Amino acid sequence: MKRLIVSSLLIAFGIVGSLTVNAQQLDQLFKREDSQNRKPVSLPAVREADMIWSKTVWRIIDLREKMNQPLYYPETEVDGRINLINLLMKGIKDGTLTAYDASGDEEFKTQITYDQVKKIFGAKKVTKKVRNFDTGEMEDRVVESEMRSDEVKQFWLKEIWYFDKQLSSLQVRILGICPIREYTKDTNEQTTEADAQQEVLRTPVCWISYPAARQLLVNNEVFNPRNDAQRLSYDDLFIQRNFQSYIVKESNTYNNRPITAYLSSEEAMYESKRIEDEIFNFEQDLWEY
């Protein structure tokens, strides 16, 4: 009788334990590979003698485009995933990444600190009246406002397109990435809807060297809208060109002036498309069919 009771208890505990394990694995059928062990994919070496043509361009990735939304979401960490801007800011804060001034040149010469980056984001120390619960009186207290990472709606990419005669193909390398903060200017005046739209400002935050950021990007996953079982890293997304963008500037005689400096509206759009076609057609024109 005692053996029967003991056996029944063991079976019961086994069932409960099995249910507990199964409950813990309801949202996961297998253990995912540790993304922290990944290494960036090696890119082909480039020799000066093999590069017979090149062009540097700057392009905009607008996070409001449907294809680019995996770079904007999640706004807060979900399932170990964070969005691109928070990942870059975390890297700068930890010292993994180096931030460069985006207000002057775009050649990664002037380094800036994390505190300077926060200041560009609008984070500043303000004095507020706070009640002291011990004395009951209102006191001045310095409070630092938080960075609004959700204000980043666009990214700049600086990249170089080149033809490698050793590989007989057109190649591209991303040189840098720069978040662009989009925000409304603070004002105490009553404004109409049209005036409010004019108060929207866009400020480049900082440049980050893409080659230096690849290790951080490959160690963090981005949502794959086509297949949950095959997660991509941020490095995979950029290397595979799984984003939508448009060119806003190319290397030129006039101090690399942007397209908007000499064209606007539809003409600027056509100029962007012309530069894109010029890059594509260069490779096509090398061959005879």
pLDDT digits (tens, 9 = 90+) for 31-88: 666 677 889 999 989 999 999 999 999 999 999 999 999 999 998 888 889 999 999 9
Distance (Å, whole) CA 159 – CA 172: 7
* CA separation for the pair 252, 272 (Å, rounded): 14
User: Which pLDDT does position 15 carry in this prediction?
Assistant: 46
Q: What rounded mean pLDDT belongs to the chain?
A: 84
Element spanning 195, H or E? helix 193-198
d(CA 183, CA 150): 10
Has residue 110 got a pLDDT over 60?
yes
Q: 50: how many CB neighbours lie within 10 A of its CB? A: 15
- Asked if residue 182 is part of any domain, the answer here is yes
Tally of structural domains, the chain: 1
In a domain, 157, yes or no: yes
Check if the beta carbon of residue 57 is closer than 8 Å to that of residue 256: no
Domain coverage including residue 259? 47-122+149-284
In a domain, 17, yes or no: no
Contact between residue 138 and residue 129 where contact means Cβ atoms under 8 Å apart: yes
Find the length of the chain.
Answer: 289
* Structural domain contains residue 67: yes
For residue 225, tell me if it sits in a domain: yes
Q: What DSSP character marks residue 35?
A: G
> Does 115 reside within a domain?
yes
* pLDDT tens digits along 126-152: 677 777 777 777 777 766 677 888 999
Q: Is the predicted pLDDT of residue 245 greater than 50, yes or no?
A: yes
Pairing state of beta strands 221-222 and 232-233? antiparallel
Per-residue pLDDT averaged across 248-268, rounded? 94
Tell me: the pLDDT tens digits for 206-242? 999 999 999 999 999 999 888 887 889 999 999 999 9
How much of the chain exceeds pLDDT 70, in percent?
Answer: 81
DSSP string, 116-180: HHHHHTT--EEEEEEE-TTT--EEEEEEEPPP-GGGEEEEEEEEEEEEETTTTEEEEEEEEEEEE
Does residue 19 sit within a domain? no
- 114 part of a folded domain: yes
The rounded distance, in Å, linking the Cα atoms of 286 and 169 is 10
